[in-house]
Chains A and B, each alone.
Chain A
Amino acid sequence: MDFQNFWDVYSNLVLTLGTNILLAFSIWLTLDCGMLAVANAAFLGIGAYTSSLLTMNYDTPFYVSLFGGMALPAAIAIVIGLPLIRLSGVYLAIATLAFGEVVRVFILNTESLTGGAMGLNGIPQLTQGWHVLLSVLVVLFILWRMRASKVGRAFDAIRGDETAAGLMGINVRATKMLAFVAGAAIAGLAGGLNAHLNFFIGPTEYGFDRGVEILTMAILGGIGGLTGPILGALIISLLPQALGALGDYKLIVNGLILVLIVLFLPQGIWDPARFKRWLGKKGGAQHA
């Protein structure tokens, strides 16, 4: 099969994979900073609606729409982050989940603007393959550079011990805010790209299920590095397709595989420390 044929059949899948990678990165940012924030589906939705409405109602160029789809989630993240970032652990998770519900209900009840439960129809299909590819590469590059700097070290330190991190001179609240807001902007970018790919968006796509799916991508892949989220997004995007032959049993097997991975690889699939241990064992055996 040549590329054109492949692309005709699978372009939608490949582009969905791209936006999923962005989403996995967006939640990885907060997880890397020790925060269990699960508002990413809501930020994805805000980004999708904002950029679509900009394109449809104001005829803004695609880039402007995408930018708007990043800016509004980021701005909202700042506003809700101010009180929420003090929370830790499961309390932050619950508060961000509640925020997600608020967003969903808001979209449902502002019919004149968002189309309510009927969703938005007829979004111009402006997203090209290279838009998604470029977005993934740029985000990956920025995150990769951040990890190798004082910012990445500050994230690691906060995840390790917040009190000790503060006493190393790290502004814990500001750093957490950076992770939260940047995560929201990346999720918003994914939303804008996705909306201009699918012609239609509706509130059900941005609910609790989607939030859990995004979290699963990062946890499954492993949060110890940037490879994990990519791997997680790959599995979550492709597994349902690969299991297509199973028909109605697809979702059951899908769930089973996820449960098994989490049970046996609690640090995620991509865990350099585990690889090292395996290598170490092999090395030890050679010596013996």
Chain B
Amino acid sequence: MLELASISKSFGGLHVLRDVNIKVPQGAIYGLIGPNGAGKTTVFNLITGLLDPTFGGIAFDGRDILRKKPHEITRLGIARTFQNIRLFKEMTLLQNVVVGAYRHMDYGFASLLLGLPKYRKHEARARERALELLSWMKLDHKAHDLADNLSYGEQRRLELARALATEPRLLLLDEPVAGMNTGERAGLMTEIQAIRDRGYTILMIEHDMQFVMGLCEKIAVLNFGKIIAEGGPEDIRNNEQVIEAYLGRDDEEEAA
């Protein structure tokens, strides 16, 4: 469904990504892991059009999406959440999610000016759908509170609801459980599985190994801008290069 082919990205002389190849199949939960600063979020920024790669191609459903603007990529069916949560803090939860339905509000200037049935129908439907998504994320009781007043875990779930409101086919999650407690993590795990079961494809960045290993069918490991391993959870767990990247190499052993 999503294919990154020989993607490289440099900022000046700094090579953040080098020859990255990732293939996310339809219907998968795919994990992208790696130490801090490995370039994971940069991969997301390239896919969503916030950055352009220095080299390489990105295809979504076989269509080249290189150099498309973020809003065009969203309209093709890719949505994301952010590592450093980016909600509309001055809006209520409901308003946040309704913004996500923006591209599905298909009414013209005359309809909105005169409040014609088409306008009313689309607005009502977006609201209804937003409430549905909020209740899915167990936030419906706070629908009219300001987003700014939510706890960290709730903010992450709201971002997820807002991303789902764009009706994507591919969902990019950037550290979805960061800052959540154990109970919240377990809850989100079931919710993400439920999302996949409804036909979404998921690509996620996550540091919590238990979470990644429990959810993802396939995992790619990024270290210093390169993919050093790809495979199922078992392969990754036993891959020496991965262990080395996370735990470091024993110097004495190397000397011996």
B74 touches A156 (CB 8 A): no
* Contact with B71, one of A142, A149, A151, A166 (Cβ below 8 angstroms): A166
A153 touches B70 (CB 8 A): no
Contact A169 to B90, CB < 8 A, known contacts A149-B123, A151-B112, A153-B98: no
A157 touches B88 (CB 8 A): yes
B92-145 CB contacts (< 8 Å) to partner A = 95, 98-100, 102-103, 105, 107, 112-115, 119, 123
> Is residue A154 contacting chain B, with contact meaning CB distance below 8 A?
yes
Contact A161 to B112, CB < 8 A, known contacts A150-B105, A169-B102: no
Interface centre among A149, A153, A167 (most CB of B within 10 A): A167
Q: Tell me the minimal C-beta distance from B93 to chain A in angstroms.
A: 14
B71 touches A172 (CB 8 A): yes
Instruction: State A225–B87 Cα separation when bound (angstroms).
Output: 21
A166 touches B69 (CB 8 A): yes
> Is residue A164 contacting chain B, with contact meaning CB distance below 8 A?
yes
Residues in A with CB closer than 8 Å to B166 are 168-169
A169 touches B103 (CB 8 A): yes
Instruction: State A150–B119 Cα separation when bound (angstroms).
Output: 10
Q: Tell me the minimal C-beta distance from A125 to chain B in angstroms.
A: 32
Residues in B with CB closer than 8 Å to A161 are 86-88
Contact A171 to B87, CB < 8 A, known contacts A145-B112, A153-B102, A163-B50: no
Instruction: State A149–B98 Cα separation when bound (angstroms).
Output: 11
B80 touches A167 (CB 8 A): yes
B91 touches A156 (CB 8 A): yes
Interface size range on A against B: 20 to 34
Residues in B with CB closer than 8 Å to A142 are 113
Q: How many cross-chain pairs have Cβ atoms below 8 Å apart between A and B? A: 81
Residues in A with CB closer than 8 Å to B99 are 153-154, 156-157, 165, 168, 170
Instruction: State A149–B123 Cα separation when bound (angstroms).
Output: 8
> Is residue A146 contacting chain B, with contact meaning CB distance below 8 A?
yes
Instruction: State A149–B113 Cα separation when bound (angstroms).
Output: 9
Interface centre among A149, A157, A164 (most CB of B within 10 A): A164
A160 touches B89 (CB 8 A): yes
Instruction: State A121–B112 Cα separation when bound (angstroms).
Output: 42
A152-211 CB contacts (< 8 Å) to partner B = 153-154, 156-157, 160-161, 163-172
Residues in B with CB closer than 8 Å to A151 are 112
* Contact with A164, one of B69, B87, B115, B123 (Cβ below 8 angstroms): B87
B102 touches A170 (CB 8 A): yes
Residues of A within 8 A of B (CB): 142, 145-146, 148-151, 153-154, 156-157, 160-161, 163-172
What are 18 of the A-B contact pairs (CB < 8 Å)?
A146-B112, A149-B123, A153-B102, A157-B88, A160-B87, A160-B88, A160-B90, A164-B82, A166-B69, A167-B71, A167-B74, A167-B79, A168-B162, A169-B102, A169-B166, A170-B71, A170-B99, A171-B69
